[in-house]
Amino acid sequence: MKKEDNFSEWYNEIVELANLTDKRYPIKGMNVWTPYGWKIMLHIDSYIRKEFDATGHDEVCFPLLIPETEFQKEKDHIKGFDTEVYWVTQAGANPLDIRLLLRPTSETAMYPIFALWVRSHTDLPLKTYQIVNTFRYETKMTRAFIRVREIHFFESHTCHVDEADAQRQVEENFAILEKVMKPLCLPYLLLKRTDWDKFPGAYYTVGIDTNLPDGRSLQLGSIHHYRENFSRPFDIKYEDLQGDLKYVHQTTFGMSERLVGAIVGVHGDDKGLVLPPEVAPYQIVIVPILAKGIVEEVTLQAREVKDELATAGLRIKLDDRDVRPGSKFYDWEIKGVPLRLEIGSRDIKQGVVTYARRDSGEKGTVKRTDLVRKVTDILRSISDDLNEKANKNLADSIETIENLDTLPNKIVRFGWCGSEDCGHEFENRTELKLLGTPYVKESFRGDCIICGADTDTAAYAAKAM
């Protein structure tokens, strides 16, 4: 299956063949996490936990069900979500007096409790996060990891004494994001969403977008500054040094299982998945090359190599299935294992192990005595190369345009005066989604692509996945 020719079909086929997910669960958009896919997700979660714990966030876990009365407190928020929430209207045989909804995100579950937790300025900043499943009734076509109705979701929620401290949190989130994305080898753009596209209830929203091979953008997450938009309706107040009651300023940061979809889409090739070593369930697979008379010897060597690498902390699989080596090669290539080691009589005679890199296809040998050091080097090199390749790929997929005559099949960058009218007209005429303007200001000088007004602001747009 060719990735470039038909990305959509390629994607569906690869997640199926690599056994990342089981789509046969009989509810649309609710798929089963297979052991292999779930291991990848858990590795991603572990990087998220590591970075948020390191910056003083505490992991919490709030209930799945939210009373309708809490959900309705913030007006924009409910307007943004009410067409896509699942409702629980009955318990046993009895209709509920107050309907309950399955969280589409947890603001309205957490903030009534935050109001109880926060009493004084000494309680701030309150920095929490949780990794839970959320539910959104998607009406568009669903797609494994990318558009699902039950979403494996990360969300941080913080409360601060004032807008400046909340802004500091937003900046910290960008630093965290950079650290989390490095091992996933995913490049991204930070684009401040337009006012009409920001998160329901937010003061502003920064979208985290990456690119897919067919010129589409894929949103990987978002970082929001809420100001007092939620603390007022949820009455989250603290007493400051002067004894005055003040509303907290809040931020959130959300990401989801889409990160798995992005890894598939960004790194995969015609042979299947290509997993970054840091998230791969198995970083190395050993394929013993058996032959009559040397079965014991090769098997023994393979086990020794396995133990040695496992002791060094590497995740390793010894494939001792009774099938031909070639068949194993194809299997593990589809599954994206970063490095394959082969051990046969030839290798044993020469005191080496043969390796093959999944990302580049490069093959070679390493000395048996040097094994751990060399293998570690190769894995690091694979990670570096994947990062570099993906970065270049994102840079190449952005094109600055001066008019709408011929639109490239890419993420486009263009002058925008910032007015809502021009923004809407751009979207209507191009059928692209206006993703927003760079969070970190880029130097730009040009004309608004719609009204022609002089502007120093570049906007980005793309077909959104």
Find the shortest distance in angstroms from Cβ 337 to RNA: 12
Find the shortest distance in angstroms from Cβ 354 to RNA: 3
- Residue whose C-alpha is closest to residue 357's, from 281, 264, 278, 283: 283
Annotate each residue in 115-144 with x if it binds RNA (CB under 7 A) or - if it does not, as one string. Answer: ------------------------x-xx--
Find the shortest distance in angstroms from Cβ 287 to RNA: 8
Find the shortest distance in angstroms from Cβ 274 to RNA: 13
* Residue 296 binding RNA, by CB under 7 A: no
Our CB check for RNA shows the closer of 244 and 322 to be 322
406: left (phi over 0), alpha (psi -120 to 50) or beta: beta
Tell me which residues in 319-358 interact with RNA (CB under 7 A).
322-327, 329-331, 333-334, 342-348, 354, 356
* Residue 269 binding RNA, by CB under 7 A: no
Our CB check for RNA shows the closer of 241 and 323 to be 323
Provide the β-strand partners of residue 157: 128, 252
Distance CA 273, CA 330 (A): 11
Distance CA 20, CA 17 (A): 8
Our CB check for RNA shows the closer of 198 and 328 to be 328
Residue 412 token pair: 């486009």
Q: Which residues contact 259 (CB under 8 A, 6 or more apart)?
A: 44, 184, 186, 220, 221
Distance CA 318, CA 313 (A): 15
Find the shortest distance in angstroms from Cβ 327 to RNA: 4
With CB under 7 A as the contact rule, which of the stretches 232-240, 316-324, 415-423, 433-441 interacts with RNA?
A: 316-324
* Residue 360 binding RNA, by CB under 7 A: no
Q: Which residues contact 77 (CB under 8 A, 6 or more apart)?
A: 71, 107, 108, 200, 201, 230
With CB under 7 A as the contact rule, which of the stretches 20-28, 99-107, 113-121, 407-415 interacts with RNA?
A: 20-28
* Residue 87 binding RNA, by CB under 7 A: no
Tell me which residues in 166-185 interact with RNA (CB under 7 A).
none
Q: Which residues contact 381 (CB under 8 A, 6 or more apart)?
A: none
Distance CA 465, CA 265 (A): 11
Our CB check for RNA shows the closer of 88 and 451 to be 88
* Residue 445 binding RNA, by CB under 7 A: no
Tell me which residues in 203-232 interact with RNA (CB under 7 A).
none
Distance CA 182, CA 387 (A): 7
* Residue 262 binding RNA, by CB under 7 A: no
Q: Which residues contact 179 (CB under 8 A, 6 or more apart)?
A: 47, 51
Using CB under 7 A, count the residues that bind RNA. 36
Distance CA 280, CA 38 (A): 11
Distance CA 395, CA 376 (A): 29
With CB under 7 A as the contact rule, which of the stretches 23-31, 173-181, 205-213, 371-379 interacts with RNA?
A: 23-31
* Residue 35 binding RNA, by CB under 7 A: no
The residue ranges that bind RNA (CB under 7 A) are 24, 26-29, 139, 141-142, 271, 289-292, 295, 322-327, 329-331, 333-334, 342-348, 354, 356, 361, 363
